[in-house]
A and B are shown apart, each in its own frame.
Chain A
Amino acid sequence: MNLWGAIIVAAVIAFATKLAGHLIPAHLLSGRSTRRVMGAMPVALLAALVATQTFTGPSGTLVVDARLAAVGVAVLALLLRAPFIVVVVAGAATAAGLRWLGWG
């Protein structure tokens, strides 16, 4: 599969998921446990993405570098209720600054 193929497949699944919610009878997804698990999925996936994006080094090794400092600054910004774009730019600037100083 090339990259375009992957994009189209992922986009079709995303749209089908949304449409399914509008078309299928509500009672099929009405189990409270089912709904809780579906609702919790973004939490598990996003946490996994934070972890892997932060610690994955070359060829799957775990490393601590400027990205961990960036996440720390991002959390600080979130605690100060900064908007999304400020959090992202602060994270990027932290890593860029540390690398400019020769670390990470």
Chain B
Amino acid sequence: MLRQGLSVGVATGAYGISFGALAVAAGLDVWQACALSLLMFTGGSQFAFVGIIAAGGLASAASAIAAASMLGLRNALYALELTPLLGVRGPRRVAAAHLTIDESMAVAVTQDDVPASRLGFWVTGISVFVLWNLTTFVGALVGNAIGDPRTYGLDAAACAAFIALLWPRLRSRDSVAIAVVGGVVATLLTPTLPPGIPVVVAAAAALLAWREPRVNGDEPIGARS
């Protein structure tokens, strides 16, 4: 389990490089990229934030905040499951909240007993936090050195990063349908609305999950990643 937590941390560190480079390509400076990783610390939201800033600049800041915040809503669901498991109060609860992310949740809930879950949560959360922040810094320096992001395909790297973040969530037919609707709505709205707004509007595709999933062997969507 220790090894599982640490290896998840190392794997996530690799995302950090891409995030740092993309953040700088989007127009953030090195310290702003690092601030996002230190303070926001939830990868999908950070990618969304810099992706929308890259497209629309400061004028689309409100959309960037909205998209990042909606992507972060799932962390509240993770927290609901983790609270009884972790049994912490006071400052340690604040630390646990900050470390509540996809990876720490996934390792914690797949352990056999409570002590292993707690250890798994903290080891994974802390190792991801340390490596994510270090590699963001490295990635931002790399991005700074590269210059025009298009030459090395950094704009395309953002597309690849989003599809890679989406991929593991497409485990049921319902989630594929929601992804298709979200993608089509955002594309159709792009010519008429300012950058970022189509993404925020497309989030409404998630409302398709309101009704009970069909009983056809599909996994319910919204199951943990």
Binding site for B on A (CB under 8 A): 1-11, 13-15, 17-22, 26, 29, 32-33, 35-56, 60-62, 66-67, 70-71, 73-75, 78, 83-85, 87-97, 99
Contacts and interface: CB of A to CB of B under 8 A. Distances in A.
A11 B35 contact: yes
Interface in B17-52: 17-18, 27-28, 32, 35-36, 39-42, 44-45, 47-49, 51
B5 interface: no
Q: Say which size band chain B's interface belongs to.
A: 35 or more
Nearest to B82: A22
A48 B198 contact: yes
Contacts, number: 325
B140 interface: no
Nearest to B177: A43
B30 to A, nearest CB: 13
A85 B135 CA distance: 12
A22 to B, nearest CB: 5
A91 B222 contact: no
A42 to B, nearest CB: 6
Contacts of A54: 159
A17 B153 contact: no
B75 interface: yes
B55 A67 contact: no
Nearest to A26: B80
